[in-house]
Structure 1
Amino acid sequence: MQGLDWLSLFLRWFHVIAGVAWIGASFYFIWLDNSLRTPPEWKQKKGIKGDLWAIHGGGFYEVAKYAYGPETMPSTLHWFKWEAYTTWLSGFALLIVVYYFGASAYLIDPSVNALSPAHAILSGLGVIFGGLAFYEAACRSPLAKSPKAFALFLIVLLCIAAWLTAQLFSGRGAYIHVGALVGTIMVANVFLNIMPNQRKMVAAVAAKQDIDPAWGASAKLRSVHNNYLTLPLLFIMISNHYPMTYQHPQNWLVLIAIMALSAWIRHFFNLKHQDVIKPSILVSGALGMLALAIWVSWPHGSAPTQPATSLSETAPTTDKTPLQAKVDALIHTHCVGCHSSAPTDDIFKVAPLGVKFDNWNDIARYGPQIYQRVAVSKDMPFLNKTGMTDAERQQIADWYLNQQ
């Protein structure tokens, strides 16, 4: 169990590092492209389409973009691809380690859909790669020639994905699979379109042949798609820390609203790079986020009005062993205040990470996580605010290890 935790740690760390590199490069080049201005005539005669000056790190930089390409291909040409590839590879590996190896705990919620682990995993892969297939087909169709029509298609695709995953998986599982779909679309844009078209351009310039304008236009379109999808994806990457979003009864609508608002706010900065300032976008985006927060925080009637006084009352019909009964009582005493459908804790009003111990079945399926967090790392209960003793932690360890 600890081995998986360490693997998860290193994968998540690497994923964040690679993601920072990819997103940083993406934001920089979108800013760069939008900030280029018409150069002086002498530069235009050299084939320069746009330029800009910048200062950073104590030095001046002059950046130029060629309409065709340099007269002689430089010996060193910097490509930007591995930032995207390593982000996706590490993210997909993390999905497997956390959500597929731990499908019964983190991906499957019996109250939503009692899937088997194999069925849940196959459904998740179907959403990711099936959604990618629909997106790629649309990009290669006449629909891509109309930005507004394509934007509408993409919104519909993501709405369907969000709704479908919310019917299949736990709230956390649903969000992470929409994020995996978005991330897969973004890296596929790099792998299937941007990089091949750039290779064609390099080969054409090196051979002094004409460049097909469609190569650059197609790559630029995919880059713009990635730009608008970045902020929604970043939210999904941190969403597991905020269960009030993915545990909401209409969690898929919450996700779509946050994605739409964050893309709208990104639009402000894209316009700003072109010297078009529209504060109304930021104001409307902020008001939208406020309205969303009020809606999500508004009391709803999905939680039981009278939580069970004992987990034993909701246990399976089979009798528990004496050790199981002790663990049942310990979980009820130390954990259910936070981890239930109706938390009574003074701070946590929604079950942290969506983990609920409403009955013995829940306790059993979260057994590995309970053992790791309570008996091994001892970071739960949170700040040990309920005063769990080492002897009680040992009882939980004995229960879990006796099952193995």
Structure 2
Amino acid sequence: MYDLAAMGAWLEFAVRWVHVITAIAWIGSSFYFIALDLGLHRDRNLASGADGEEWQVHGGGFYHIQKYLVAPDHMPGGLIWHKWQSYSTWLSGFALLFLVYYLGAEFYLIDPAVMALAQWQAVLISLASLGFGWVVYNQLCKWFVDADQTVLMVALFAVLVAMAYFYTSVFSGRAALLHLGAFTATIMSGNVFFIIIPNQKIVVDDLMNGRTPDAKYGKIAKQRSTHNNYLTLPVIFLMLSNHYPLAFASQYNWLIASLVFLMGVTIRHYFNSMHARKGEPTWTWAATAILFLIIMWLSTAPMFRGDDADMASGPGQRFAQAEGFDHVQDIVMGRCSMCHAAEPFWDGILWAPKGVRLDTPGQIVANASAIYLQAGLTHAMPPANVSYIEEDERAAIRAWYAAATGG
């Protein structure tokens, strides 16, 4: 029978691959259409009645693109809808959230030092928070649809800061930043699923039935599309943050996450201004650099991570009491803890890689699955086998894991 842990690892890899592919497709189309809309020449009296046009060259050919402010006078054939990218990205992302953080809640989602939660409680909070985010954001958009959009963006930023603080007060640092990314991505996908596509369908239906489409549907859809444009870069940062403990394991991780949203605004403002031919506001690069330097400074504040897991009860009990644990503890202490420690003494390592510490029995138990996959089943760790772990030691890790899991 094929190793279930290996199957799970490959499934996670496959879903992550799909998630990255679909995210590239979604982000690419989003950036392209925002740049296209901003760059349209609207000072031309077009015979077609279009609002603006642009000529582009790519792939050995020329493209003549026109945009109608509301809709053309008749329904064109072969209309292409841009929606699968958003839906596939969210669905694959949620599948990854389920595989890594829900099934592995005791290791990745819950940190007893932050809040002692049962697995079902943590998962329920996660699900409820994603739904809450869409409801609050959608209501804000309805309130401010005719107001200065800057006011709406400030209100949205306040919500994101509050959620950053909430997540870091409930989940592990790694899960907190990942969830803030999922929270924001849910808002973005909700915009496409609940607002942009339905509004476009209303316009199409009006055209097919000989009615003049109402311009308000296009206005609302563009508002939400613009929000997605400014939120994209922070979401990418937050999704990558789980690989960098300097981001998620800092005492001020919630503040770091908040500043990332401001960097997303400054970066996109530069490109949006350039595409709209309104100049190149180079001050945005200085502002972004300053924000990033502040983030770097905040990340070096005292890092936090829970000490020993409770080995007397819960999921750690079976690993702590399994045959061979004492031997595996000696192996990990000798081969891994020189880097994976509160104060690593391996040259060039300043913080435990990915925030994983293995210098106490409780931490070894808490990371049992990772130790098995990285150093027992595969040779991924230590990297390049720098600590010269022996094959019989890897076998001991596999035997200990099997004894604990009944494998």
Structure 2 residue aligned with 1:131: 133
- CA–CA separation in structure 1 for the residues paired with 2:292 and 2:178: 21
Per-residue deviation, 1:116: 1.7
8 Å contact from structure 1 (residues 47, 68) kept in 2 = no
8 Å contact from structure 1 (residues 144, 150) kept in 2 = no
Per-residue deviation, 1:67: 3.3
**Residue deviations 1:63-104, cap 9 Å, x none?**
111234333322200110001000000000011001111111
Alignment of 1:152-191 (within 5 A): 152-191=154-193
Per-residue deviation, 1:359: 2.7
> Cα gap change, 1:396/1:216 in structure 2, threshold over 3 Å: closer, same or farther?
same
Structure 2 residue aligned with 1:204: 206
Tell me the TM-score normalised to structure 2 length: 0.91
Per-residue deviation, 1:394: 1.2
Structure 1 residue aligned with 2:394: 393
Alignment of 1:290-369 (within 5 A): 290-297=293-300, 300-302=301-303, 323-369=324-370
Structure 1 residue aligned with 2:98: 96
8 Å contact from structure 1 (residues 47, 69) kept in 2 = no
Structure 1 residue aligned with 2:12: 8
Structure 1 residue aligned with 2:31: 27
- CA–CA separation in structure 2 for the residues paired with 1:302 and 1:77: 53
Structure 1 residue aligned with 2:40: 36
- CA–CA separation in structure 1 for the residues paired with 2:93 and 2:367: 23
- CA–CA separation in structure 2 for the residues paired with 1:353 and 1:179: 18
Q: What is the letter of the counterpart of residue 294 of structure 1?
A: W
Per-residue deviation, 1:191: 0.5
Per-residue deviation, 1:331: 1.4
**Residue deviations 1:312-342, cap 9 Å, x none?**
xx97699967722111211111122222222
Percent identical: 36
Q: What is the letter of the counterpart of residue 2 of structure 1?
A: A
Structure 2 residue aligned with 1:272: 274
Per-residue deviation, 1:225: 0.4
Structure 2 residue aligned with 1:384: 385
- CA–CA separation in structure 2 for the residues paired with 1:38 and 1:301: 54
Alignment of 1:36-55 (within 5 A): 36-41=40-45, 43=46, 45-55=47-57
Q: What is the letter of the counterpart of residue 39 of structure 2?
A: S
Alignment of 1:246-265 (within 5 A): 246-265=248-267
- CA–CA separation in structure 2 for the residues paired with 1:11 and 1:127: 23
- CA–CA separation in structure 2 for the residues paired with 1:315 and 1:117: 17
**Residue deviations 1:346-394, cap 9 Å, x none?**
2332222222224322222321221111110121122211111011111
8 Å contact from structure 2 (residues 251, 304) kept in 1 = no
3-state SS of 1:140 partner: helix
Q: What is the letter of the counterpart of residue 345 of structure 1?
A: W
Per-residue deviation, 1:172: 1.0
**Residue deviations 1:192-231, cap 9 Å, x none?**
0000100111112222312212101100000000000000
- CA–CA separation in structure 2 for the residues paired with 1:196 and 1:102: 36
- CA–CA separation in structure 1 for the residues paired with 2:265 and 2:226: 11
> Cα gap change, 1:335/1:144 in structure 2, threshold over 3 Å: closer, same or farther?
farther
Per-residue deviation, 1:146: 2.9
| Higher mean displacement: 164-173 or 77-86 | 164-173
Structure 2 residue aligned with 1:229: 231
Q: What is the letter of the counterpart of residue 113 of structure 1?
A: M
- CA–CA separation in structure 1 for the residues paired with 2:321 and 2:213: 73
8 Å contact from structure 1 (residues 316, 360) kept in 2 = no
> Cα gap change, 1:367/1:100 in structure 2, threshold over 3 Å: closer, same or farther?
same
3-state SS of 1:145 partner: coil
3-state SS of 2:51 partner: strand
Structure 2 residue aligned with 1:286: 289
**Residue deviations 1:15-51, cap 9 Å, x none?**
111011111100010001000112533x1x4311101
- Aligned pairs, how many? 394
